[in-house]
Amino acid sequence: MRFKSLLIAFLFGVSLLQAQDKVVAPKVYLNIVIDQLRTDFLYEFYNLYGDGGFKKLLAEGRVYPNSYFAFENVDRASAAATLATGTDPYVSGIVGEQWLDRKSMRVVSCVEDRKYDGHFTTLSFAPTKLKAITLTDEMKRASRGGAIVCSIAPDEDVAVINGGHAADVVLWKNNSAGFWSSSSYYGEFPLWASEMNRTNQEGTKRWEPLLSSLDYNYYGEKAPPRFSYGFSGRIDMKKYKTTACVNEEITELALSYIKDSKIGKDEMTDCLSLAFYAGNINGESMEERPVEIQDIYARIDRNIAAVIAELEKKVGADRLVVSLSSTGYVLENGEDGAKYRLPSGTIYMDRIMVLLNVYLSAIYGKGEYIEGVHAQQFYINNKLIDDMKLDKYAVVSHAIEFLKSVDGVEDVFTIYNLGGMLSPDLQYVKNGYNSSCSGDVWLRLMPGWKVVRSSLTSSADKYRTPVMFPMIIYGTGVKANVVEEITPANMLAVELARILRIRRPNDNCLRVFK
């Protein structure tokens, strides 16, 4: 009897192992990053969706509705890099879309590299400034180069970062002529994308509501005003890329690629990365454009549904895994809160730099001690300080003393704040810093205050307000559930590496911050 029990247990164990062996890796990993997607809007607009997009992912996927980035000043590039690598800007080197290059004192793109030629663009881009390894890089390494990686996004920074260092195809829409573009870093430009460029120059693109005006009732209005936008010829491409039109183009490109490429044809897991835009047109607020933002969500839902359906048709529903995530902020025009008697104000960074140099000159003698400013960061003139044999720590301390007296400045941080054991608040600051491209001194503003880059141009930075955003994983080997805990964005790369049966990116620094 004992022998029979042992035999049954043994056979049960063997059958369990065999069942586990039958769980195979997906043929395709679809990575969707949606700029400015918000958890609250995702649920609020639920009645606008069909069955194959957001509803499908929310019902059948693992949902993290309370996700966040554990560093300050999140933008689309730093967010994309964190999602792709599982690490923060402190390691990845991508602190933002742009920064001030210390050698040339020129503002550069986070993916700029002049060693390469552009396809359908005069600009040069490559992932050489991205210092960390991405999930798609690990896919390439695990497959010994056999995995196919394609990345398509409205802007070059997200397209390049999502593709990683070893992508096969990377496409973005340039801001000058509106062509889909790429870089010689990735080899020849795809013929199917050239065809898209040819057809896109024909006719006028229109954006009008997808549904009846009565469906767009987020504010309870019985009949919100309809809208209509038309784009043709040499259009304002930056504005165009804040409309549903660019999402439609991305979907069209993706469907063409799925049908005509070799993605999903063998047992190696391939990756298709798509980026969509879910902010409001031209960064205007929900109050200014309540119908447009609802329509964008409704249309992205159909875009996602079309891509998932085409991939499931090609590789089978059981051989596809999908991740959906966001850039974790909302970008809005810097409206003056004074008319509502809200705490608010304006800081002119060029004026502050002049005054700071005057202040330091009064202490140390005449000189340009601050040689550059970008965003909310100041760059110390290290050569001048060395030539004058000054103590840099003392110079920075005097700069802090001055900057803390400026109206609208909540706090000042420097390279000297970020060593040793840090408080959660300082760790949060450090995660968004990188010594190769960040400034020496940077500001945290009071709520409601805005930065104006230049008093001559009055070019104001738009507000970037961090928001809770969803991360969803759906498909092969994923059980449907909702994880209510607050979840750092770094988690996504960890979970996907497990599902894809590859090692996590080697710079992954999964830490939980309070």
**6-10, 210-214, 423-427, 449-453: range with highest mean pLDDT:** 423-427
Instruction: Indicate the Cα dihedral angle 296, 331, 272, 47, nearest 10°.
Output: -30
Strand partners, 183: 118
Q: Is the pLDDT of residue 220 over 80?
A: no
Contact 268, 144 (CB under 8 A): no
Compute the average pLDDT of residues 214-238: 78
Closest by Cα among 68, 39, 72, 90 to 464: 72
pLDDT range class, residue 152, cuts 50, 70, 90:
very high
Four-point Cα dihedral 10, 16, 17, 22, nearest 10: 150
182 Cβ contact list (under 8 Å, min separation 6): 118, 119, 120, 169, 170, 171, 172, 189, 190, 193
**For residue 51, what are the CA distances in angstroms to 186, 311, 474?**
36, 16, 15
Average pLDDT, the chain: 89
Share of the chain above pLDDT 90, in %: 73
Q: Which tokens sit at 486? A: 């607050």
CA distance 118 to 220: 48
* Backbone φ, ψ for residue 170 (5° rounding): -135, 125
Helix (H, G, I), strand (E, B) or coil at 387: helix
- Which residue in 164, 87, 159, 149 sits closest to 123, CA to CA? 159
**CATH no. for 339-461:** 3.30.1360.150
CB 197 within 8 A of CB 205: no
pLDDT in tens, 252-276: 999 999 999 999 999 999 999 999 9
pLDDT in tens, 460-503: 555 678 899 999 999 998 999 999 999 999 999 999 999 999 99
Which positions ≥6 away from 491 have C-beta within 8 Å?
64, 67, 86, 471, 510
For the chain, the structural domain boundaries read: 28-333+464-500, 339-461
φ and ψ of 429, to 5 deg: -70, -45
The residue type at 173 = K
Q: At what angle do helices 491-500 and 76-85 cross, to 10 degrees?
A: 40
Tell me, yes or no, if the two domains 28-333+464-500 and 339-461 fold the same way: no
Which pLDDT belongs to residue 77?
Answer: 98
Give the Cα separation of 389 and 393 in Å (integer). Answer: 12
Asked if pLDDT for residue 511 goes beyond 50, the answer is: no
Separation CA 420–CA 202 (nearest Å): 59
- H helix count then E strand count, the chain: 16, 23
Residue 117 contacts residue 124 (beta carbons within 8 Å): yes
- Say yes or no to pLDDT of 65 above 80: yes
Return the biggest CA–CA distance within the chain: 96
| pTM (2 d.p.) | 0.91
Report the distance separating Cα 455 and Cα 439, nearest Å: 21
Three-state DSSP at 478 gives coil
SS3 5: helix
pLDDT score for 345: 86
**By the 8 A CB rule, do 79 and 476 touch?**
no
pLDDT tens readout for residues 315-340 = 999 999 999 999 999 987 655 666 67
| CATH superfamily to which 28-333+464-500 belongs | Alkaline Phosphatase, subunit A (3.40.720.10)
Residue by residue, what is the 3-state secondary structure of 95-120? CCCEEEECCCCEEEECCECCCCCEEC
Q: d(Cα 174, Cα 156) in Å, to the nearest integer?
A: 8
Q: Side chain identity at 192, as an amino acid letter? A: W
Which residues does residue 271 pair with via DSSP β-bridges, in sequence order?
29, 149
**Which residues is 372 bridged to in the sheet?**
379
Unique residue bearing structure tokens 């994983």: 473
Q: Is the dihedral of CA 240, 245, 247, 248 positive or negative?
A: negative
Please report the pLDDT score of residue 62 as a whole number. 98
Note the residue count of the chain: 514
